[in-house]
Amino acid sequence: MSNRIPLALLAGMAARIAADPTPAAQQSPEAARPVTISIVGTNDLHGGAVARREGRGGLALFAGYLKNLREARARGRGGVVLVDAGDMFQGTLESNLNEGAVIVRAYNALGYTAAAIGNHEFDFGPAGEGATPRRPSDDPQGALKARAAEARFPFLSANVLDASTRRVVAWTNVRPWTTVDVAGVKVGLIGVTTEETPDTTIAANFAGLRMRPIVGAIAEGAAAVRRAGATLVVVAAHEGGRCTAFDKPDETSSCRQDEPIMQVARKLPRGTVDVIVAGHSHAGMAHRVSGLAIIESFSSGVAFGRVDVEVDRRSGRLLSTTILPPRDICASEDPATRSCDPARVAGKTLVPVVYEGRLVEADAGINEILRPAVDAARAIKERTLGVTIETAITRAYDQESALGNLFTDLTRAARADADVAVANGGGLRTDLPAGELIYGQLYEATPFDNQLVAIRLTGRQLRAVVTANLKASGSFLSVSGVSVKARCDEGARALTVSLMRPDGRSIADDEMLTVVTSDFLATGGDGFLAPAGKFATAPGSEGVILRDAMAAELTKRGGRLRADALFDPKNPRVAFPGRRPVQCQ
């Protein structure tokens, strides 16, 4: 399939289609009045349906914000479009135990208009037991298809294709785009999924599918919804950005300019779409890029985004677009910052939340929908592991961390013949807090049902993997059973990497090593092990969930854990000059 967009198509996209050909003199005063449509965006819920301990987040509380906003819009004869940018299910016991079914039930009650398909929507694999296909009859996307069929709103993706037909997948209630009428305005909605999906979910669960580039998919979808009469076009994109300041939407200096959604916005001709609800990067955005409003609201259901669009119903012309900062979802908040983030409100007096002129109250109906899932998860979550954490074991995505070192140590210990263990920074989802460790906390830190597997690599292959990771940005490769020393040789541009065993012995290039890791990495996930080339999977560990192997090892060890005993920044396991990506001058 060609990735080019015909010039004629691009030229025509910026033009608006008149929404109402009726002469102004024949229209009622109500029809002539501008209308406000609020685009509310969520992203990367990752199963975070229940409020956190500090009274932050949760779908029942979010419903209270929505109720107030919908009532405010109704008073002005406007409306609300509620859109999710994907990664709805995977991440908590409340959701994972039912493969996301409780999230769909709650989203149905919340009145979502549409949701994009994220890469982690593929994580559950076939419906029912088994995170990956085990028999020829297993449908690799069975769980995702089941959730889509249960939803009263469409799942959208214009760039996930059937590999055999090279067309958008033809699954029940899954489509590339849709249109809805809101307060007399036809709104077009297009969904797209990160092009990284084949490398960021289990490869076996993406079998039979392929991706097409996002920009072309959005452009074709926008042309289609405009032909269908849409005057306001919204994209739900499971692709994101990363900004740190949100008070000035037209000021993007706090944003990383190389983030994918920034590039998408700049490649689309002006007027192609009006609003993007972004996701995937677990960061924040509330900015205008190349005339296009983009919102993203972190992850785990702690915040939401909003864009208010004023539309002239007679012509369909957008009169104004107001981008609001990400809004924390709070039971009570600091009135100055409107936040309940513990890091921002420590020592401050919090007050009940007022939104759109009314108190925000959690929705009892949503709590009832969630209750069976909460009850089913409680006993599993509260199981103690016999370990006390003295200081929080913290994670880091792009550098060495205490949590990454702990998890690789546990992985290596779970297989008696293992020489080395490796793990990816993207698999570390939250810190382990101080106190008595329970299974639910371990689960939230590593919520993926990846299996423990062993592969055989030579010293040369492992060194190639480590070297490639040091030269790259993004997710960090944590290691156990080996220490790494990298240096830039004087007068040379090459990075020299040495591998040593715990006793200080160097690992030779032809030395054969048993390396334990997740089946996600072993089957090509994130491309971490690609520099090793071909390797053989050793038998013996398949079928064991990696997280459960870690839990068993923790229980066997018992005792106490401290972060500083796992990671010393002055004496790291992986030592290298400067910062990643390492560039020798």
Q: How far is CA 283 from CA 92, 165, 297, 561, in A?
A: 19, 35, 6, 30
pLDDT (0 to 100) of residue 315 = 86
pLDDT by residue (tens digit) across 522-539?
A: 988 989 999 999 876 654
pLDDT at 134: 87
The length of the chain in residues reads 585
Euclidean distance between CA atoms 495 and 461, whole angstroms: 16
Residues pairing with 512 in the sheet: 458
* Alpha-helical segments (H) within 361-401: 364-381
State the angle between helix axes of 364-381 and 101-110 in degrees (0 to 180), rounded to the nearest 10: 160
Scan for tokens 């509330």, then name that residue. 286
Is the alpha carbon torsion for 366, 367, 371, 375 positive or negative?
positive
What pLDDT was estimated at residue 274? 98
Q: What does the DSSP assignment read for 558-573?
A: -EEE-HHHH--TTS-S
Contact yes or no for 573/477 (Cβ under 8 A): no
Which of 109, 132, 107 lies closest to 45, judged by CA? Answer: 107
- The confidence score (pLDDT) of residue 27 equals 52
Taking 50 as the pLDDT cut, the residues of the chain under it are 1-26, 539-541
- Dist. CA 453–CA 546, nearest whole Å: 8
CA-based nearest residue to 158, from 117, 203, 109: 117
Q: Are 479 and 574 in contact (CB under 8 A)?
A: yes
The long-range contacts involving 171-175, CB below 8 angstroms and separated by at least 24 positions, are: 171/141, 171/145, 172/145, 172/148, 173/148, 173/149, 174/117, 174/145, 174/148
Please choose, from the candidates 270, 107, 86, 308, the residue with its C-alpha nearest in 3D space to the C-alpha of residue 190: 86
Looking at residue 306, what is its pLDDT? 98
CB neighbour list of residue 187: distance below 8 Å, 6 or more residues apart: 37, 81, 113, 179, 180, 181, 230, 231, 232, 233, 234
**115 backbone dihedrals φ, ψ, rounded to 5°:** -145, 140
Q: What is the rounded CA–CA span in Å between residue 242 and residue 292?
A: 16
pLDDT (0 to 100) of residue 536: 63
All domains of the chain, ordered by start, with CATH? 32-373 (3.60.21.10), 383-575 (3.90.780.10)
Give the model's pLDDT for residue 3: 45
Taking the C-alpha atoms of residue 499 and residue 302, their distance in angstroms, rounded to an integer, is 42
- What pLDDT score was predicted for residue 442? 97
